Amino acid sequence: MVGALLTQSLQQQQAELARVRPPVQGKPAAPPVPKKKLLICAPSNAAVDELVLRLKDGIQPLSGPRQKINVIRIGRSEAINASVKDVMLDELVRMKLEGNNGENNKLINDREKLHKDAGQIKERLNVLRPQMDEARGKDKGLEIKLQREFDELKRAQARIGAKIDEEKESGNTVSRQNEINRRKFQQEIIDGAHVLCATLSGSGHDMFRNLNVEFETVIIDEAAQCIELSALIPLKYGCSKCILVGDPEQLPPTVLSRSAQSFGYEQSLFVRMQKNHPQDVHLLDTQYRMHPEISYFPSQQFYHGRLVDGDGMASLRQQPWHASSILGPYRFFDVKGIQTKQAHGHSFINVPELEAAMALYTRLKQDYRNIDFTGKIGIITTYKAQLNELKSRFERKFGDKIFEEIEFNTTDAFQGREREIIIFSCVRAKATGGIGFLGDIRRMNVGLTRAKSSLWVLGDSNALQQGEFWNRLIEDSRERNRYTGGNVMALLSKPTSRGELPSREARPLINGVRRPSTSSDSIATSSTATLPRRKPSSIDIEMTDAPSPLASRKSSISGNSSSNETTGGGNRPWDPSLKQDVRRPSVGGSSVASASRDSSVKQESRKSTPNPGGAVKQDDRKLVKPGSTMGLNLQGKRPRESSKDEDGPAKKENVS
C-alpha cells in the first residue's frame, strides 16, 4: 500500500533533483515547497514499531525495483523498541546537535570563562578585605597598594557582570541556541522523510505546531482497535485521504466503563464507517503470515472460508522442527489441568499447563540444539496470573536470558504481534461453569493467528468444549490428526520421533488437490492427516465484496448459530508486502478508504468467494460450482469455494 502511494512522490523527487538550479546571486534562495508526507498511525507503540521495522526494509513501488525510503518514528524513547531507535526523531536530532558542537562550544567556553573569572575575582576580594583592615593605620604604603588592587578588581567584576547580563538580555545563551538548533534540525529531518510513524496520541504532539509539514494521506493501522476519538487526532492536519486498516473480527477497543460501552463508546471509526458505507470496505483476503495448517481453522470458522493463503506459504513457513512427530505447524495438546485462583485478585493459574509449556520448550531446544530460537518464540495466555507465573518459573529454570529468546504476554497485548512459534496456554480447566472471557471468539481469533510457522495450543478439552468454537477446534484437531492427549508430560520428556520432511513433488492428494508439505507426513503413530471436507453447496451462490457488519457480536458460549458471528480488533500491523486497491470515495468532504484485513492480507481484483445473504456485486462475482471441496494446492494456497455456513446462514460476512 505504501509503495503504491509513494510511487508518484518518488518519481517527482527524482525529477526535481535533475532540474535543481542554484539561487541567483544577490537574491535570497526561495524557500523549498514543503513536500506532502505520509502519516502512518496505530493505537499502540508495539504496533507502530512493527510497522517501522517493515518500512525500514524498503517498499515496492508500482513500477521498478524495491526502494529504501526515509522513515521517521515519532515518540518517547523509553516507550520505543530499541530496534527502531535509529530512525527516532529525537535520536536523530540529538546526533545532529552533537555534531554541531563548534558554535555551541564557543558559547560554552565564553560563558564558562566569564563565570570562572568572576569567581576568581570574588575570591581575591574576600582575601583583600581583611588585609586592608590590618594595614590601615599601620603601613600606609601597603594600605595604598592593597586599595588600588581592590579597586581594579571591583572594576573588572563590574565589566564581567555587565557581559553576563548582556548575554541574558540578548538571549544569546547555550540553552536558547540549542532550542533554535533543535527546531531547525527537526525541520530538516522531517523535510527529508517520506513517511512519519506515530501512535494516534503521539500524532497530536505540539511539535507539529512549530514545524512546516503537511500530510496528504493518513493511514491508521489497527483501526478497529481504537476508539473513534483517537482516530480523529491525526485527521486534524487536513489530509485529503485517510485509509483505515483493521480487522473487526478480533478484539475491539478496551473500554473499562460499562456505562460508556452502553452508549457505544467502544465502537471504532472503522466499524461505524463499515456500517454506514459498506461499499467502501475492501476485503484483503490473502494472508502472508501463517502456515496453511495454522490458518485453516481461523479461515473456516471466523472468516467463512474467505481467507486464503498466499502462494507457497507451506514451503515458506516450513521449518526443521516440522519433521518431529509432535512439533509440527499446528497441534492441540490436551493437558488435564487444575485451575486455581491467585492469592489476591480474580485471575487464574493452571500449574499443569505451566509445566507443559516448560516441557514443550525444553523438548524443542534439546531436539534442535543447532537452531537459534532468539526472538522466535512467544508464549501467550488469557490470564495475567498465569502470565506472571510463566515468567517466574521460566526465569528460575533458564535464567534472565530466557527473555531474549521468548516473549511472554497476554493474548490481548499480543494483538498485532507475531512470532515463528506460539505456545498458547488456555488455563481454564473446569468441566462446568463456563470458560469465562476465553469464550470470546474475538480473543480466540487473536490467539490462534499470532504464529507464523508453529502454533501449539495447551488446553483441557473437558473444559474448553463448553465453548462452541473451542469445541469445534478440538474436533477439528482430531479430524486432522493434530490432537495429542494422554500423558503429555511423559511424551515431552523423551526425544520425539522424526521423519524426513515430505518432498514437494510427491504429496498425497486430498479432495482432488495436493496439500502442502507438513510434519503430518512423517507422523508414524497416526494416519495421514487430511483437511476436513466442507459441505457442498446445492446451488451456485454469488457474493458481494464487502457486506455490512453485524450490529452486535456474541460469544462462542451461546449455543446458537449466531455464535459464528465474530468481532474484534486484533489487527496485525500493516505489512508493506501487501498489495491492495486504493479507492477514494467521497465521505464527508474527505476521501476515506477502509481496508479490513487479517494477518497481512492483500486485496486483489479477482474472483470472489460466495457470500451467503450478501448483495451481489456484478463486476466482482463468481459462480461457485456445487460440491466444491476445500483442499490445499501445491503452493499451500487454498482454492476458493462455497462458504455456506454449516450452522445456518451467516449473518456477518465481513472479513479482515
Place of cell 575570591: 123
Rounded distance between C-alpha atoms, residue 193 and residue 56, angstroms: 12
Residues 40 and 42: their CA atoms lie apart, in Å, by 7
Partner residues linked to 340 by β-bridges: 349
428 and 464 Cβ atoms separated by less than 8 Å? yes
- Mean pLDDT for 516-534 is 36
Contacts of 124 (CB under 8 A, 6+ apart): 153
* pLDDT band for position 199 (cuts 50, 70, 90): very high
Grouping H, G, I as helix, E, B as strand and the rest as coil, residue 309 is strand
Give pTM, 2 decimals: 0.63
The whole-angstrom distance between residue 51's C-alpha and the CA centroid of its chain comes to: 6
- Decide if pLDDT at 297 tops 90: yes
Inform me whether the pLDDT recorded for 621 exceeds 50: no
Looking at the predicted structure, is the pLDDT value of residue 565 above 60? Answer: no
Amino acid identity of residue 86, one-letter, is D
- Residues near 22 by beta carbon (within 8 Å), at least 6 away in sequence: none
CB 385 within 8 A of CB 348: yes
Q: Is the pLDDT of residue 551 over 80?
A: no
Q: In the chain, how many H helices and how many E strands? A: 18, 21
DSSP state letter for 485: -
Residue 290 has pLDDT above 70, yes or no: yes
* Spatial distance between the Cα atoms of 227 and 80, rounded to a whole number of angstroms: 22
354, 556, 649, 540: CA torsion to nearest 10:
0
Beta 195-199 vs 513-514: how paired, if at all?
unpaired
Q: What is the DSSP letter of 206?
A: G
Which CATH number does 308-522 carry? 3.40.50.300
Summarised one tens digit per residue, pLDDT across range 574-592 is 443 333 333 333 333 333 3
Cα separation, 480 vs 488, in Å, equals: 19
Give the cell for residue 206.
Answer: 505540539
Which single residue is written with the C-alpha cell 496470573?
Answer: 385
Point out which residues pair with 308 in neighbouring strands: 286
Q: What average pLDDT does range 126-134 have in this prediction?
A: 85
- 16: cell is 526535481
Q: Is 133 exposed, middle or buried (0-12, 13-18, 19+ CB in 10 A)?
A: exposed
Cβ count within 10 A of residue 400: 7
Calpha distance 248→251 (Å, rounded): 7
Name 498's Cβ contacts closer than 8 Å, sequence gap at least 6: 323, 324, 325, 367, 522
CB atoms within 10 A of CB 234: 24
Strands 241-246 and 71-73: unpaired
Q: Where does residue 116 rank: exposed (0-12), middle (13-18), buried (19+ CB within 10 A)?
A: exposed
**Predicted pLDDT at 160:** 87
CA atoms within 13 A on the CB side of 274: 33
DSSP state, residue 19: T
Mean pLDDT, rounded, for 285-293: 93
Torsion angles phi and psi, residue 571, rounded to 5: -80, 135
Q: According to the model, what pLDDT value does residue 60 have?
A: 87
Write out the three cell numbers for 294. Answer: 495454522
The DSSP-derived string for 554-612 is --TTS-SGGGG---B--PPPP-TT--------EETTEEEEEEEESTTEE--SSPPPP-T
Question: Can you say whether the dihedral through the CA atoms of 32, 34, 36, 39 is positive or negative?
Answer: positive
Q: What is the pLDDT of residues 106-118, one digit of tens each?
A: 666 777 788 888 8
Shortest CA distance to 304 belongs to which of 76, 24, 534?
534
Strands 241-246 and 214-220: parallel
Q: Which residues contact 346 (CB under 8 A, 6 or more apart)?
A: none
Closest listed residue to residue 238, CA positions, set 8, 9, 37 = 37
Tell me the C-alpha distance between 300 and 646, whole Å: 10
Range name among 390-394, 478-482, 581-585 with the lowest pLDDT average: 581-585
Residue 176's CB: how many other CB atoms inside 10 A?
A: 14
- Residue 379 to residue 402: CA distance in whole angstroms: 12
617 pLDDT band, cuts 50/70/90, is: very low
pLDDT tens sequence across 405-444: 999 999 988 888 899 999 999 999 888 888 988 888 899 9
pLDDT for residue 639 is more than 50: no
Check residue 578 and give its pLDDT: 36
The average confidence (pLDDT) of the chain is 75
